[in-house]
Chains A and B, each alone.
Chain A
Amino acid sequence: MKPTDIGAPDYFHKVVDCQWACPSHTPVPEYIRLIAAGRYDDAYMVNWNSNVFPGILGRTCDRPCEPACRRSRVEDAPPEGAIGAALGATREPVAICRLKRVAADNKVDIRARLPLAPKKKNGKRIACVGAGPASLTVARDLVPHGYHVVVYDGDMKAGGMMRTQIPKFRLPEEVIDEEVGYILGLGVEFRAGKRVDSMKALLAEDYDAIFVGSGAPRGRDLDVPGRKEAAKHIHIGIDWLSSVSFGHVTKVSKRVIVLGGGNTAMDCCRTSKRLGGEDVKVIVRSGFDEMKASPWEKEDAMHEGIPILNYLVPKEFTHAKGKLTGVTFEKVAAQYDADGPNQGRRRLVPTGEPDQHYACDEVLVAVGQENAFPWIEKDCGIAFDEWGMPVVDKVTLQSSLPRVYFGGDAAFGPKNIIWAVAHGHEAAVSIDKFCQGEDVTQRPPPMVHLMSQKMGIHEWSYDNEIALDRRYKVPWRDPSQTLKNIKVEVELGFDRATAFKEAERCLNCDVQTVFINTKCIECDACVDICPMDCISFTINGEEPDLRTRLTAPANNLTQDLYVSSTLKTGRIMAKDEDVCLHCGLCAERCPTGAWDMQKFLLDMTHAGPGCRSRAPKKEPELV
């Protein structure tokens, strides 16, 4: 293998699994250390800079960071069978998401640390359609650089789906008000209650660029017999949730069936339970494991006594005298194509068993969301694909009309808040470059800092002792309180003491093991001390071969090998990054300082001078 180029910004970034998995590349270990140090304000600002809504995301994020977390790969597997089950020990990631909430809950007052919009504007005007997380991120990134940003929304309050679709028992209103308020307070012009009905009209106004962050506002319907006849008692999930949010719906019937297996379905069933639903069920076409809902959201629903029934495809809404009486389902089973072009594809095949009927008084349909752009005229210059989605560049988020950008669910269909934020950052970079007359495709890579953490002979500026604690559970408020009042938050969040213990589980993967080839005397001290058998000195070879010849086999192909150039004995150093604890023992044991622990800090390129061309501007010619 060729020696690893640790100068490439991606190499060490990939080692920080959580940060790499996060769409907006939040420096997770950095803020977890700050939480452990009790520096909640600082931890909050690290988050705010990257993901804009720490308090909201700390409660609702889809947490792509957690499945990626190295911690879940290094803990001992629990003993098999009953003993393991009784211990409740599983290999679990650090509770990254809920630690973020700790920073938001415990900060004192960060308002003085927010950027200020300059008094002198740069004269550029930007319109954002929709006041959801994507648009607000664009506004936050551009306003401090002198842009005049106008955000339009049909609702009276900003926040978009964060406000209208996420139930208050998961995300209290005041958290939304606070974090949305930080952005509007920067000097954003918010045109509340002003729905944009015509792209043409908007284009005709004097905006230099337009950002569309209008979400995926249309809930998919279920067109089966009985739908029209029983329409009064069948609702589209997301519409129903926003009606609840606005207080238009305050009650639900006793027997409720929720159709669908995503997070919206989970919100629907838990909301029903709080509005008078006594017999609430979730009924899903697919199997339990293939459901789209996050595992923890399914868990929360079941914890509240809501059964989830699987492999049932809705066939008919039954009704009598215009009143819904129930839903008939066909029983199916999963079958996987053994061969052919779609080998391994899952198909739901009827089992032939008799149909099952579940009686109910009300149905919530949460089977997916769709994009809808009835307000964008076909002839305004924005190209749409065959599925009715705008043609948008994946990196620049630019549409076929150069001054129009899309982001969030509006760009590529329903995703989640953290993706919307990531889109917002990138779109802001594009808009900034576009308004400065630069090529939007020329995007500077992120800045990378590597700094030695050595403080003394065996002292590091991070806590390198590995805690063996298993993941801590976030405490819940008593169900007797939470099921009665839809506005009472279910999760209480970690207290400071538990947050410290959970933070100590973080392995500090951003503190990198940096190998300095020329200093190595090949004494094997690092090989002997490494608790995870990550380090090998061996003859070089091709990667697949090398992976089998190391101190311990490097079986996780998604994790890189860190390979040095040839050493004095003709061997190379090869380190498998997969299960490294970043404990720094290799560096402590190294007699020559060939290993050093260096903190990797990634500075994402956001809108502003940093994203612009650094080439000297041409001086105007003198006449």
Chain B
Amino acid sequence: MTYLTKPKLHHPTLQKNKVGYTRRDYEGKISTLCAGCGHDSISASIIQACWELDIQPHRVAKLSGIGCSSKTPDYFLGSSHGFNSVHGRMPSVLTGANLANRELIYLGVSGDGDSASIGIGQFAHIMRRGVNLTYILENNGVYGLTKGQFSATADAGSKSKRGVINRDAPVDTVSLALQLGATYVARSFSGDKKQLVPLIKGAIAHQGAAFIDIVSPCVAFNNHEGSTKSYDYVREHNESVNRLDFWPTREAINVDYQEGAVIDVPQHDGSVLRLRKTHPEYDPLDRVKALNYIAEHQAKGELVTGLLYIHPEADDLHAHLNTVDTPFNKLGVKDLCPGAGALEKLNASLR
């Protein structure tokens, strides 16, 4: 935490993107989290990704629940829409917002308590329904706001700062998301922006339920020896299966990689995700194999990171429900309230 706001001055070479903003324009208020919190690095990565994607800040809605992680939307995209909802209830608020206005870019920001404990039911259903969003789970395995109790994602056998060993089995949110039908599933680490920023960009471009589990060390309560979510532990056990590159258009790809080492995944919006394999046997297009791979490596104590699964032809809730293309705020009174005659007709069709 700091008492000063970040000075407005910036580096003389700071660039503007296509929509005329500098990276600094995507910042929010000064963070009040503990110094060194991984969450602040995630905020910085979201800022970087949105700047690189030339997103207009007012076209983004950021929603969160309760917890350290859910405070972070205040620290990025200061000019975007925001909603700080009830604990664990971000998914239902976001689903509603998305149904009302499908044209915004939705960022759901949550933590391991918010998503894997109190909000696990909501988490399950937003993945299952395929709401078009980027769900960012800032996962530190610990309840930082209440001084360091284990959260539901803490690994069995890991040690708390006070020396207590966790006996409970962890919720693996990545496997859960895969099982529940999320169409873009990734895991990353707050301390590796080179991996994280493209993953966030890919998730924002993905037109379906995109989920990123980001291990984010809690410097105050979970960065000690015996923790499995410390900077040191994650760096030692990080097994990255691929590196993602993101191209805004299909034509722009001009980097050559060795044959066979690359998978191109075109997206609905014309952008392309290019995956450079770092584990040759890993296939991110196969959901079942991905689940197995993650489970096997987890058993070995490895943390599998990268883009773990992507469904190239994903669709979303609006497609499932066959909703109208135009958001509510652009529909006229006549369309929204077609009158008693139309209601009568509808009722008749159901009799």
Contact = CB atoms under 8 A, between A and B. Distances in A.
B14 A552 contact: yes
A585 B191 contact: no
Interface size class of B (residues with CB under 8 A): 20 to 34
A534 B10 CA distance: 10
Nearest to B75: A528
Interface string A568-611: 11000000000101010100111110000000000000000000
B3 A521 contact: no
Contact of B191 (A465, A524, A532, A588): A524
B7 A525 contact: no
Interface string B21-44: 000100000000011111011011
A579 B14 CA distance: 12
A525 B40 contact: yes
A458 B2 CA distance: 6
B243 to A, nearest CB: 16
Given A524-B191, A525-B40, A458 B9 contact: no
Contact of A525 (B3, B8, B37): B37
Contact of B35 (A464, A527, A552, A589): A589
A532 B11 contact: yes
Chain B interface SS verdict (over half): loop
A521 B10 contact: no
Contact of B219 (A74, A552, A591): A591
Contacts, number: 99
Interface string B221-249: 00100000001100100000000000000
B53 to A, nearest CB: 19
A529 B30 CA distance: 9
Q: Which of B6, B12, B43, B44 has the most CB of A within 10 A?
A: B12
Nearest to A521: B231
Interface in B36-67: 36-38, 40-41, 43-44
B14 A533 contact: yes
A534 B2 CA distance: 19
A589 B14 contact: no
Nearest to A527: B44
Interface residues of A, number: 36
Contacts of B190: 524
A553 B13 contact: yes
Chain A interface SS verdict (over half): loop
Nearest to A523: B36
A618 B19 CA distance: 76
B36 A528 contact: no
A302 B156 CA distance: 79
B12 A579 contact: yes
B138 to A, nearest CB: 14
A523 B1 contact: no
B342 interface: no
Contacts of B231: 521-523
B217 interface: yes
A91 to B, nearest CB: 9
A555 B6 contact: no
Contacts of B235: 568-569
Contacts of A380: none
Nearest to B3: A458
B223 A521 contact: yes
B9 A466 contact: yes
A524 B41 contact: yes
A292 interface: no
Nearest to B15: A552
A468 interface: yes
Given A523-B231, A524-B44, A532 B10 contact: yes
Contacts of B24: 531
A319 interface: no
Contacts of B38: 523
B24 to A, nearest CB: 8
Contacts of A468: 7-9
Contacts of A552: 11, 13-14
B13 A525 contact: no
B36 A76 contact: no
Given A75-B9, A523-B217, A523-B231, A588 B37 contact: no
A74 B9 contact: yes
B14 A528 contact: no
A471 B261 CA distance: 57
A77 B12 CA distance: 8
Contact of B41 (A73, A523, A569): A523
A528 B44 contact: yes
A78 to B, nearest CB: 13
Interface string B314-333: 00000000000000000000
Contact of B4 (A532, A533, A583): A583
B2 A589 contact: yes
A585 B3 CA distance: 10
B6 A585 contact: yes
Contacts of B6: 529, 531, 585
B193 interface: yes
Nearest to B40: A528
A529 B35 CA distance: 10
B12 A73 contact: yes
Nearest to B219: A591
Interface string A428-462: 00000000000000000000000000000010000
A585 B36 contact: no
Interface in A525-550: 525, 527-529, 531-534
A523 B7 contact: no
A592 B36 contact: yes
Q: Which of B6, B43, B220 has the most CB of A within 10 A?
A: B6
Contacts of B217: 523
A465 B34 contact: no
Nearest to B43: A528
A546 to B, nearest CB: 16
Contacts of A77: 12
B132 to A, nearest CB: 28
B9 A532 contact: yes
A243 to B, nearest CB: 49
A552 B9 CA distance: 14
A555 B13 contact: yes
Nearest to B6: A531
A73 B10 CA distance: 10
A585 to B, nearest CB: 6
A458 B32 CA distance: 12
A533 B191 contact: no
A525 B9 contact: no
A465 B12 contact: no
A523 B219 contact: yes
Given A73-B12, A523-B219, A525-B35, A531 B7 contact: yes
B9 A528 contact: no
Interface in B141-194: 190-191, 193
Contact of A589 (B7, B36, B43, B191): B36
A583 B7 contact: yes
Contacts of A529: 2, 6, 40
B35 A528 contact: no
Interface string B258-275: 000000000000000000
A585 B35 contact: no
29 contacts: A75-B9, A77-B12, A458-B3, A458-B4, A464-B4, A465-B4, A465-B7, A468-B7, A521-B36, A521-B231, A521-B232, A523-B191, A523-B217, A523-B219, A523-B231, A524-B44, A525-B40, A528-B40, A528-B41, A529-B2, A529-B40, A531-B7, A532-B9, A568-B232, A579-B11, A579-B12, A589-B2, A591-B36, A592-B36
Interface of A: 73-77, 458, 464-466, 468, 521-525, 527-529, 531-534, 552-553, 555, 568-569, 579, 581, 583, 585, 588-592
Interface of B: 1-4, 6-14, 24, 34-38, 40-41, 43-44, 190-191, 193, 217, 219-220, 223, 231-232, 235
Nearest 3 Cβ contacts at the A-B interface: A591-B36, A466-B7, A528-B44
Given A466-B7, A524-B191, A528-B43, 5 more contacts: A525-B37, A528-B40, A528-B41, A568-B235, A592-B36
